[in-house]
Structure 1
């Protein structure tokens, strides 16, 4: 069994408008996932420095970042990052360039954990429905063209307010959605912007939204999670 989670951490700026990376890490520890897709994990301007520094993760966390090597001080690519348990083996990783008018991207890694290999994609899609659909098509095509195929998990902030249309319909032709629940806004969840999707060779055992007091204060999104097993 593998537990995965997705979290738009909003650069560790909470609903109190204070930047507190230690609070973000506390929420991640509460969730306790084996693999975590983060969105808005880097600062927006300048060197795009990671908000959760390697030192902070090493000192207080059970995870290590997947290193994509895109920017020297960033954790991921356009704010998208992946954390894995320290005993996990990262077999391969890459950034996926998405069509967009503003900085957007996705990240992908093949991870061996407890003898199982899964492919994980983290994403943060555009606010525009047209560009979201183009980005979804790019991710789906990229996965289909991959030489090696593995059980696949896609996670992230899709920015899709529709219940069934748009990118949900596009991704739904190839993947199944975990029934996680409403994750935005953290103080009063009204929308399922954050999603976890799996290929048909994976089964979702449980899924949900982590809505602790810390999570309600740490970001404007709540983390979503799912436990998975081979189908």
Structure 2
């Protein structure tokens, strides 16, 4: 069974043209056509923290259902992090993942099931500080280890890590495998691989890539990344 996972920092749906355009982001998501999507910077930062992608727009213009993890009535995610799943994928459990923070960062977890296969997804947006990032990765890994069931897991998001192999990546020892889909930031001329997907040992990797299209090049300051993974037959 193959499942495509994507991660996208949507910059509150404000593109390089300085326009807030939720429909442009939804169109990019339709271009990627992933089964599970982790979004970062999905809510506005202050006040009511309104969702940059309105719920009615998601339900009406996509095949996705948001995992319910809102921190305020008008929000979509937890500290700007949200998970969208394709209709037909069942939600078994979900929670926010507490992180040590100096600035508003966060992570969210969803336990999902498709065709009898259970799997876990964590979406995250890590700190700008290197030391803080490593502490946050440790918190995410500790949270996953403390979950009731040990199931195939995918961690993904904007890690804010400029190093290709050092920094917070040192925290991902076996059985974790850090994937590098490609350069995703800044979107107009990508230089850094800030957006990553990390998988547990149960997954086979079919392929990874950065989604680069005319819309994704202007819709946010990050490009989306994705990975197609497979699980062995039961």
TM-score by length of 2: 0.96
Give the drift of 1:27: 0.3
Q: Distance in 1 between matches of 2:18 and 2:202?
A: 41
Q: Give me the whole-angstrom Cα distance separating, in 1, the residues matched to 2:60 and 2:84.
A: 15
Write the mapping of 1:154-165 to structure 2, written as runs, cut at 5 A: 154-165=155-166
Distance between the aligned counterparts of 1:116 and 1:218, measured in 2? 34
Q: Name the CA distance, whole Å, in 2 between partners of 1:143 and 1:24.
A: 29
- Tell me whether 1:108 sits opposite 2:104 in the alignment: no
Q: Deviations over 1:120-152 (max 9, x none)?
A: 000000000011011011111111121211100
Residue 141 (structure 1) aligned with residue 106 (structure 2): no
Q: What does residue 66 of structure 1 align with?
A: 67
2:93–2:112 CA contact under 8 A, matched in 1 = yes
Q: Which residue of 1 aligns with 2:87?
A: 86
CA–CA distance in 1 between the matches of 2:66 and 2:33? 15
Q: Does 1:213 align with 2:210?
A: no
Q: Distance in 1 between matches of 2:174 and 2:104?
A: 27
**Separation in 2, partners of 1:98, 1:206:** 30
**TM-fit CA distance, 1:80:** 0.3
User: Counterpart of 2:215 in 1: which secondary structure?
Assistant: helix
Match of 2:96 in 1: 95
Q: Which residue number corresponds to residue 7 of structure 1?
A: 8
Distance 2:167 2:154 in 1: 19
Q: Is the 8 A contact 2:71 2:79 kept in 1?
A: no
Q: How much does 1:68 deviate?
A: 1.5
Instruction: Tell me how far apart the structure 2 counterparts of residues 164 and 61 of structure 1 sit (CA, whole Å).
Output: 36
Q: Kindly tell me the number of residue pairs found equivalent between the two proteins.
A: 231
SS at 1:213 equivalent: coil
Contact kept? 1:178, 1:204, Cα under 8 Å = no
Tell me the residue number matched to 2:177: 176
Instruction: Give the gaps of 5 or more residues in structure 1.
Output: none
Q: Is the 8 A contact 1:57 1:63 kept in 2?
A: yes
| 2: CA distance, partners of 1:152 / 1:18 | 35
Runs of 5+ consecutive residues of structure 2 not aligned to the other structure:
none
The answer on whether the counterparts of 2:39 and 2:82 sit within 8 Å (CA) in structure 1 is: yes
Structure-1 separation of matches of 2:199 and 2:108:
16
For residues 69 and 41 of structure 1, do their structure 2 counterparts lie closer, same or farther at Cα, with a shift above 3 Å needed?
Answer: closer
